[in-house]
Each structure stands twice: as C-alpha cells, then as structure tokens.
A and B are shown apart, each in its own frame.
Chain A
C-alpha cells in the first residue's frame, strides 16, 4: 500500500543522503521525494511517497526515527491531508492545436508561463490524479518535455 511520509529533519550537511541511503540500503522503495526548508531555517521537511506492507512501513517509520538528524516522522495514511504536485510541461502549440492547449489550460486551471513560436510551457498544480489526467489530455498534442515535483502534503486544519 502507498504511504505518504512527512519527515522533519535538521537542515544539515548530508541529511538527504542519510535518508535516501536508508531507503536504498534496506531495499525500501521511494516513489517520490521532495525536500525544502520549513519556517525554521534549521529544519527541512521531506515528503516521501513509498509503498510496502504494514510490516515494511513500520520498519521505515522506525528506521527513519532512528536517524539522529530526524526530528519527527509522520505517516499521513489515515490523516486528513492536502497534497499537491507541480508539473511544468512544454507542449506543441501550432495551428489548431493552439486552441486545444488553451482550452485544456482553462479547464485544468493551469497557467501558461512561457510562450515560444511553436510551443507553450504550462504550469499546473494538483493532486496526482489531476496531473496525470492533464498530461494524458496533452499527449496527443505533442508533449516535448515535462518536469514534475513529487508530492508534498500537509495535514488539514488545526
């Protein structure tokens, strides 16, 4: 089963390799990983999407907690969260396709952030399903390049 795990870590040299090395060394799977500073500059938040049975997830959480620069580990499974991904996509925009791109941008509430004679670069945020649907709709028009972040998540309310 897929789990989204949020980890608060000391923002110090080598901490990313400690976390990623833990996953590779113990054969845990990483589907995506995002990391950036929090409000407190000494602390970073990593959001990792991983998968495994209950026993593996339990090990992942415990092993993460065991790392010395790790301050807090939260498994968002069963927690009410908001999660988002960001995708930048460069798509062909010529002739009739141009109108279709604009329509899709409108429908998906995306934004065009760069315009070139024969292509547009679009920015879109959303949950994973929305991102995938958007890319699927654009594909027939000719996607030249995409850059996606992994998932980031935060708990609702409180």
Chain B
C-alpha cells in the first residue's frame, strides 16, 4: 500500500511501540502533524521549547528503560535539540530525535529555517541519518531505534526533508536490522572473566566502582548478588546512584569530587578495583596520577573506547556488565574461596566502617537559616525514599546525590556527563509520563530552574503532577562556592537576587506555589506541596553560604578533600 512519508512516519512509530512523542511543530513537519492528528495510537505532547522536548524524552528513557522519542522542525527547532542530544550522548541514554528538514532541492541553499543538523549533531549523537528517499524512511527509523537502544545506548537523530515526507512509497518496516559495521559485544570473554575473579580474590582491599552502565544494563540485581557474595564494598558514580542500594551496609555512597570521605579513602587505599559500567571521568578520579595508586584495576564495559582511555587497566573485559557479573557470580557463588575471602577482607571492611564513622556526610544544622541538605533529608523522609528524583546541575544536584538515599535503579535522573542546567524539570516531566503512578520530584536550584522553566506550562497543560523543590539560595551556588574557596570571595556574576517570585510564577502558569523561609516550616510545606494535586513548585529559601562538602579541588588527588 502506498502511503506518504508523513503517514509512514506515524505508522512506523506506532509499530515500533512508541506511545508518546515529545515535540514541537513547525513548517517542515506540518505533514507529520496532520498525520498525527488522525492517529490515535501515538500521543504527542507539546513542549514549550525543543530543548525541553529532548530532556523529556531523556527523562522518559531513564525512568522507564524504554526509548524516548522527540519530534522537532527544521532549523531552529533542530538546533534547539543539540544540548539535549549532547546530554543524552554523554550519559548514554537511548533517545531518538526526528527533525524536519527543508525540501531536498533547497538543502544547501541557506533556505528559510535550514540548518545542517546532521553535520551539527554528528559529534553529539551515536549516529545520525538524512533520509533521502521516502521508501527508506521506515527502515531508517527501525535502525535508529536499534542503534539507540543496543550496545552502549545513545541518542540518534533522523533528519527528514519535507519532500520526503510528502512523497509516497510502500510501507516496509523490516523485521530485523542488519548493519555490518555495528555488532556490539555482549558476552564477556570467559577466560578474561576467570582472570578477573582470580585477581579480585587475590586482593585484600577490594572496591567495586559502579557506574551508570549498571542501570542501563538492568544489572543492579547481579551487582548486589556479587557484592554480597564476596562482601565487596561498593561505591557508585553520580550516574550510578541507585545501581546499588544506598542503604546496604556495603554501600560507601558516591565517590569523586563531592564523594564521601569513605569512598574516596577506600578507592585510594584499595588493592583491587572492579570497575563496572563506569568510565573514570575526571570528576571521579581527581588528579589521575594519584588515582588509586595501590590498585590493580579490572574494567568491565560494553564500550571498548572507555577502557584504557583515562587509566591503565590490568584486566579489560568488553561486554554487557550484566553478562559479565553473572559469569563472575557463577565462579564464586557457594565456593569455599568466597567464604575465606570474606574473612581475609574483614579487616578492610572494618577500616572502611571506621572512616564512615569518623567522617560521615554531614552539615552544620542551623536554627535561623534553612540548610539545603536538611531539605533534601526531609524530602527523603517524606517520600520514604521511594520518589523518582530528577535534578538540575549545581550544588543542589550534589546535595540531592548525597542526602537522599537511592535504593532502586532509575530513581535518580541527573545530567552527569554534560552537566546541563535546565535538565531536571523537563526530565521529571518525561519520567512522570513514563511512570504515571510514581511520585516524581525535581530538586532544583534557582539558577537552573530558570533555564527550562517554560516547561511548567507543559506540566500544567497535561496535568503532569511533578513536584519541583527549588533550593533557592539566590545565587549560582556551585560557581559561587568556587569563588568563595579559590577566588577570594569575588562573587563575579553569580548573584541572582531571588528573582523572580517563584510562587507567583507557578501561579501564573496555573501550577501551585508554596514557600518555606524558616527551617521549622520545611516539613509542613513539603508535605502540603507533595499532597497537592497537579504540578507544584515549592520555593525553599536556603542559606546562600552553604557549601558542598567534601570537596576535592580541581586537579587535586582524591584524598585531598576539603571537609565540613
């Protein structure tokens, strides 16, 4: 049957199992929007900015494990997606962005709303396509979904010229994808896994360093099983929050620049590190020459380029972390070596426990000013640790990572790699769309929230009951913190004197607004805000001088922490 490109597009979305598309229409996509109008299977959510649309698709993907889909027009619509694509690319999130393009004969002519989005997005997508013929559209869509969600996941962009959407072709969605240049390795090499287990068991001071790959691979169960079988202490990256239960006695919390004292000391004194689904980011390692000086490193990752990129590795294993962890469990589970090993490493766990005891995550409580950490603790208490938490980027993000205990994967959504301010609100909306029954909270700062505040309109329009808690310190807090510590307190361009009035702003959008200005008001205001129906914005006036500790200054080794 002959169909137009626009009809093929909408039918293929439905056939690929897409239930919702986050998007914004424009001249180049009008035919698609007409086809969407006539289709009941695919729901379209109208965002207020294309960046918001990509972050929503991203939040949808992170919370659910499904592919997030986004549809934008040509030119500015497409260029507005770049930050969202780069965010998803750095954090390996399966997102597919479809962009309209000017008609093929006009490409290259500086036509109205033309941008070379395939060229622009090449370095921030896993792959991208320009569809040249209508007959190829369905196949390319299938490939795009396959590439986005397999191997190390990542965003894919498909650029669709208007004439391709208008012309007709037979609908032909292939069952299988065959790409001879793309064959991810899922199975870890058995002999390498055996060597890794031997190395692990030969040590006395092991640390598991787990990243976002555990969550992407749905391998939290395997990670917990291996760690408990061998009593391995676990630290996670920011991206790995929730990959291992934060309340487990073996959990040391996050490591790195704002990691726990325990995790940073443990990794610095470890003799064997099992790195799984993590990539030795500079915010994790600190000064590379001083990173884990005593340790032999086993690195498991599905992406070979992550291995040996930043640190030399003793045993590299390319494969799906879930498969490799399963193989490791098989080698140690119920073995008497495992019991002996737990005994050998007991002293090490004792040392870790004493670090945790002497240097827990902490802050100085205050009677007069609201401490942001206290707010996060109260959110944790109120939600019983069961909320999905999205964050923006900055101090509040670190406090959200430190003071909310994540026990489940896919409950902490944050722009770890790119550090995109303005990520949290749209990501929370996307997560709420994917998980309608869950409580979704965006822990925000007063700077970040203003970068995509317009998406409150989306939340109100579709009655998406996200709860935004702004830790409002009237400043760009993280940069201010660096200025306080390293630039003699010259607060250059980091003051946001509590503009706008967020409660009034929420009300102007048709959301509900609440405010807390004193510590004693916080629990009640949060309770009321979370209990209120629909989207809610809670403005919490916090102490502007509060800093994120511990802190490893840029370029220092992990043991050189500034503490409270």
Chain B residues within an 8 Å CB radius of A9: 181
Number of interface residues of B (CB under 8 A): 18
Bound complex: CA A21 to CA B127 (Å): 13
**Residues A14 and B181 in contact, CB atoms below 8 Å apart:** no
Considering the complex, give the chain A residue whose CB is closest to the CB of B184: A66
Let me know if A70 is at the binding interface, CB within 8 A. Answer: yes
Considering the complex, give the chain B residue whose CB is closest to the CB of A24: B123
Stretch touching chain B among A57-65, A84-92, A125-133, A139-147: A57-65
Let me know if A10 is at the binding interface, CB within 8 A. Answer: yes
A68 touches which of B123, B179, B305, B309 (Cβ 8 Å): B179
**Residues A17 and B119 in contact, CB atoms below 8 Å apart:** yes
Let me know if B182 is at the binding interface, CB within 8 A. Answer: yes
CB distance from B152 to the nearest CB of A (A): 9
Q: Mark A9-39 against chain B: 1 for CB-CB distance below 8 A, else 0.
A: 1100110011001000100000000000000
**Residues B127 and A68 in contact, CB atoms below 8 Å apart:** yes
B180 touches which of A17, A58, A71 (Cβ 8 Å): A71
Considering the complex, give the chain B residue whose CB is closest to the CB of A8: B181
Chain B residues within an 8 Å CB radius of A63: 305
Q: With A13-B130, A14-B130, A68-B147 in contact, do A62 and B305 touch (Cβ < 8 Å)? A: yes
CB distance from A152 to the nearest CB of B (A): 21
Bound complex: CA A65 to CA B151 (Å): 13
Bound complex: CA A153 to CA B304 (Å): 26
**Residues A71 and B132 in contact, CB atoms below 8 Å apart:** no
**Residues A66 and B303 in contact, CB atoms below 8 Å apart:** yes
Interface magnitude class on chain A: 20 to 34
Chain B 176-235 residues near chain A, CB threshold 8 A:
179-182
Q: Mark B280-316 against chain A: 1 for CB-CB distance below 8 A, else 0.
A: 0000000000000000000000011100110000000
Bound complex: CA A31 to CA B20 (Å): 47
CB distance from B131 to the nearest CB of A (A): 11
Q: With A17-B119, A21-B122, A21-B123 in contact, do A67 and B305 touch (Cβ < 8 Å)? A: no
Considering the complex, give the chain A residue whose CB is closest to the CB of B132: A13
Bound complex: CA A17 to CA B304 (Å): 22
A25 touches which of B118, B123, B127 (Cβ 8 Å): B123
Chain A residues within an 8 Å CB radius of B304: 62, 65-66
Bound complex: CA A66 to CA B123 (Å): 13
CB distance from B306 to the nearest CB of A (A): 9
**A17, A21, A62 — most chain B CB neighbours (10 Å):** A62
Chain B residues within an 8 Å CB radius of A25: 123
Chain A residues within an 8 Å CB radius of B122: 14, 17-18, 21
Bound complex: CA A62 to CA B119 (Å): 22
Chain B 109-133 residues near chain A, CB threshold 8 A:
118-119, 122-123, 126-127, 130, 132
Q: Could you write out 19 A-B pairs with CB less than 8 Å apart?
A: A9-B181, A10-B181, A13-B132, A14-B118, A14-B130, A17-B122, A18-B122, A21-B122, A59-B305, A62-B304, A63-B305, A65-B304, A66-B303, A66-B304, A66-B305, A68-B181, A68-B182, A69-B181, A70-B181
